[in-house]
Amino acid sequence: MEAFNLNILNLLCVLLAAWIGGAAARRVGYPSILGELVIGIILGPGLLGFLEYTETIKVLAEVGIMLLMVYIGIEIDFKDLKKASWPGLMASIGGFVVPFILGYYTTIFFGGNAMAGLFVGMAVGVTSLATKSRILVDLKLLNTRVAYVLMAGALISDTLALLIFAGILSVAAMGEFNAAELIPVALKAIAFFAVTILIGIYVLPKLGKYLSKLKNTSSTFFFTIIIIVALAYAELAELAGMHSILGAFMAGLFIKDNLFPKNISKEVHKAFYDVSIGFLAPVFFVSAGFMVNLDVFRTDLPLLLTVIAMAIIGKILGTALFYLPTGLSWREGITVGAGMNGRGAVEIIIAGIGLEMGIIDQTIFSVLVFMAILTTMTVPFLLKWTTDWLKRRGELVVMNKREGLLFLGANPISLLIAEQLQKDTPITFIDANQDVVQHTSNLGFDCFYGNALKEDTLAETGADTIATFVAATPNTEVNILAAQLASETFQVPNTHVLLSRANYMAGIDILELSHTTSLFASGIDVEYWFKTITNKTYTLKTDTITQATSSRSWIKNQTTTTEVLPLIIEQVSGEKHIFRFGYQLQPSDKVHYII
């Protein structure tokens, strides 16, 4: 028996490379997967040869893609499809079918066989959900119809791709197309989906309720249960003649938050994310870069450029074409197509399996990897250009428009700001002190009692409908964590936090990662201002801006030795905004501040 060499140093280097590549990609606004692929190409056997494709890496990569597919299934919530069911369905069909056909015939034109053509078509037809989520936050599009259609379209197209993938694998297993042999293969596939769906609907919920009643259970216990369920589903897929990732994906669809106790479910979800996305999936994507052959730029450049062009044109025009029957604007269809142009995990996983099974060769695999990288890089630019186009024409439709402001911490500073804004926007408070809650309610504000670091508490305040969240407690750490929860879980588009002067520089670095801005565009002496406002020993003043400047520059230009606390920015139109970092003050804007 051949000895198994773990080669810890190589594994360490792969993980370090994945971390560096992922961090670099996130830094410039792209998903980690792109950085992991690129650094795998650079440091792997194809170029510098610093990293090796050992048996250890191969095993971890295979486990990684299985757990990643479980996680992708967990993240899919079919309730979201109801928000844009018809447009999302049409966008996903057009955005999949048209590039699928173009990818297929492009492969045939360049001498590929039909099976390779099907794989290429499927790869250019999929859409990356993770790619768009970050971009939608950055462009402040989460509450628009475009965002709902994009999310629905991505869910449908990826699910459709996996179903077609199952069919292709079944045909590939036969060696050649035979109608007689296809019937039992199809029956096994139908049986697999029927069994897994029935288990997911009827058995797993009962299992979850039973296990939840057991004593001495922990998040570790439930994490193990998820792994067992995922492996069982993966084995069912293998028994049906399909790939294990299809079973893992189906398992993920039915492993939802309501399967286990809510407090434990959050811990399990985070642990599963850390193991799959944080550890094993990066190993797979770096190792996928190992398989890329850079010779494709020299030997098959026409094929590469044609596939990329067909992927982009097919996705955008296909989406816009199928968008027309919905009765919505064809320009919105182009915008949705631009947003769906990115590829990601599912496409790379499918291509990797095709390469492993010998359905596609290394040239086609390399083309698909570079196609995924380059098309994904176009998304932020194309989506911004097209959404700006819609805005100029007044065609960017906002759904469930967010409004109002939620303060964490009913204290002298937040109450003073609220007094300035209460005539212009609905204001709500949340505080962990019952006496403070009662006092704030007596002042005429809605105030909830509870811990804002708990999802249930924020949900009770209606955080999923507010436009702005301001964390203004004296505790900088609590402010940052609460703002992250509001932004990531409730998709609040505007989050601001109060930072103490001592923690300002450290806090700024953290805020940049979570798209949160600092209140007052600087750190402040919290205790001083609490005391000053409580004792009413301050003077309210107004400064009219004469030339364009940033909020941070305005603060720095206050040369007075007296402490200054800017509260509100009032535009010429009368619209008021909280003074925060990153705001660009224009001539005739007014800054209301206290000294």
Could you say which DSSP state residue 500 is in? B
- Return the exposure string of 356-394: e unless at least 16 CB atoms fall within 10 Å of the residue's CB, then b: eeebbeebbbbbbbbbbbbbbbbbbebbeebbebbeeee
The CB density around residue 69, as the number of other CB atoms within 10 Å, is 28
Closest CA to 243 of 129, 119, 349: 349
Q: What is the tens place of the pLDDT at every residue in 121-169?
A: 988 888 875 545 556 666 667 667 888 788 777 777 777 777 777 777 7
Pairing of strands 517-518, 494-497: parallel
| 89 exposure class (CB count in 10 Å sphere: 0-12, 13-18, 19+) | middle
Q: Which two tokens stand for residue 204?
A: 């797993």
**Whole-angstrom Cα distance, residue 465 to residue 481?**
19
Among 151-155, 240-244, 554-558, which stretch is predicted with the lowest mean pLDDT? 151-155
Name the amino acid, one letter, at 194. A
Closest CA to 581 of 484, 485, 506, 516: 516
**DSSP string over 397-416:** -BSS----EEEE--SHHHHH
**Whole-angstrom Cα distance, residue 582 to residue 516?**
10
pLDDT-derived band at 110 (thresholds 50, 70, 90) equals: very high
Q: For position 401, what pLDDT does the model report?
A: 65
Alpha helices in 28-54 (DSSP H): 32-43
Candidate ranges 141-145, 314-318, 552-556; pick with highest mean pLDDT: 314-318
Q: What is the mean pLDDT of the chain?
A: 83
**Whole-angstrom Cα distance, residue 117 to residue 110?**
10
Alpha helices in 300-421 (DSSP H): 301-323, 330-339, 345-356, 362-392, 412-421
The CB density around residue 310, as the number of other CB atoms within 10 Å, is 23
Which domains does the chain carry? 54-279+301-358+371-392 (1.20.1530.20), 405-594 (3.40.50.720)
Instruction: Tell me the CA distances in angstroms from 379 to 320, 349, 547, 595, one per residue in order.
Output: 16, 20, 35, 46
pLDDT-derived band at 318 (thresholds 50, 70, 90) equals: very high
pLDDT-derived band at 261 (thresholds 50, 70, 90) equals: low
Name the amino acid, one letter, at 405. L
pLDDT-derived band at 258 (thresholds 50, 70, 90) equals: low
Q: What is the tens place of the pLDDT at every residue in 346-372?
A: 788 888 888 888 888 899 999 999 998
Closest CA to 491 of 74, 137, 81, 153: 137
Q: Which two tokens stand for residue 480?
A: 């940052």
Q: What is the tens place of the pLDDT at every residue in 513-525?
A: 556 888 888 888 8
Q: Which two tokens stand for residue 316?
A: 């955008």
Q: How many residues would you count in the chain?
A: 595
**Whole-angstrom Cα distance, residue 490 to residue 142?**
11
Q: What is the tens place of the pLDDT at every residue in 441-471?
A: 999 899 999 888 888 888 888 887 888 999 9
**Whole-angstrom Cα distance, residue 227 to residue 467?**
38
- Answer whether residue 248 shows pLDDT above 80: yes
Closest CA to 119 of 158, 169, 153, 156: 169
Cα 56 from chain centroid?
A: 29
Tell me the backbone φ, ψ of residue 564, rounded to 5 degrees: -120, 135
pLDDT-derived band at 1 (thresholds 50, 70, 90) equals: very low
- Answer whether residue 418 shows pLDDT above 90: yes
**Helix, strand, coil abundance in the chain, percent, nearest 5:** 65, 10, 25
Q: What is the tens place of the pLDDT at every residue in 193-218?
A: 899 989 988 888 888 888 777 776 77
